[in-house]
Amino acid sequence: MRYWPVILLLVSSALALTYRVDPRGGPLDLEERVAGALAAWAGAEGVEVTARPTQDAATVIGYGSATAFGPDTHSLTVARTEAGRRALEVRLNPASPFRERALLHEVGVLLGLSPSDRGIMNPRFTHDTPSAPTADDLNALRAQREVVPEDVNRDGVVDFYDLWLLAQSFGRSGVNLPADINRDGVVDRADLALLQAAYIFAAPAETPPATLARPPQTAPPAALPEGEEAP
């Protein structure tokens, strides 16, 4: 049997993602399951999802070795660079009882979403986890397509707090990092240059956006017993 790769095309956002399906190491109907996962995500208003075969793809969806996963790890998406080309590798745990949910989650990642604490984008799967993207998941996908990439904290303006978040993430690598503005898998000077070009110079608001995590506070030094001096 010949297994064809698949192309994912987001027409409304002018974004084309290609991937190929490799069913080795697990149930051989993975290509059909991927198509079903794509159809499940197609309900977001303003986002059209279509699929077609291709022979050349930088992203692969397949199975990993069950022994390589921890007891609570159902899937992984790993970014890598080969010959200057960014690639994504999605590996599903073939022994997981939540393979369908994990596949829906990873397709959401390929569409640009980050893990969340609710819906199918919550990677802590249980039997109560929805078996399809929720309204919140679909709204997040639509909002993600409409957002300005330089607006790292998604508050509607590119300002000091976006710079602060980029600084906190500088040097990190991974998939769908909010501060990875050019989506090359690493937060670096290229992202800083893009943010600088869109930056609106103004004094920061006295109250940070609710979505912005405050930096850890340093506890004051403990008082010394009476009669003792600090070294």
SS3 string, the chain, reads CCCCCEEEEECCCCEEEEEEEECCCCCCCHHHHHHHHHHHHCCCCCCCEEEECCCCCCEEEEECCHHHCCCCCCEEEEEEEECCEEEEEEEECCCCCCHHHHHHHHHHHHCCCCCCCCHHHCCCCCCCCCCCCCHHHHHHHHHHHHCCCCCCCCCCCCCHHHHHHHHHHCCCECCCCCCCCCCCCECCHHHHHHHHHHCCCCCCCCCCCCCCCCCCCCCCCCCCCCCCCCC
pLDDT at 208: 67
- 142 Cβ contact partners less than 8 Å away, ≥ 6 residues apart: 44, 45, 46, 47
Residue 205 has pLDDT above 80, yes or no: no
Confidence of residue 10 (pLDDT cuts 50, 70, 90): very low
C-alpha 14, offset from chain centre = 19
pLDDT at 52: 63
Confidence of residue 16 (pLDDT cuts 50, 70, 90): low
Domain 148-215 sits in CATH 2.60.40.1730: no
| pTM tops 0.95 | no
Most confident of 51-65, 76-90, 164-178: 164-178
pLDDT, tens digit (0-9, with 9 covering 90-100), for 136-188: 998 888 887 777 889 988 888 888 899 999 999 999 988 888 899 988 888 99
Domain 6-146 sits in CATH 1.10.1840.10: no
- The residue type of 74 is H
Give the whole-angstrom CA distance, residue 60 versus residue 77. 10
Contact 62, 99 (CB under 8 A): no
The residues spanned by each domain of the chain are 6-146, 148-215
Neighbours of 100 (CB within 10 A): 17
Question: How many residues does this entry show for the chain?
Answer: 231
Which is it for the CA torsion 89, 95, 99, 105, positive or negative? negative
pLDDT at 224: 41
pLDDT, tens digit (0-9, with 9 covering 90-100), for 120-134: 999 999 999 999 999
The larger pLDDT score, comparing residue 57 to residue 97, is at 97
Average pLDDT over residues 23-27: 93
Give the whole-angstrom CA distance, residue 157 versus residue 172. 23
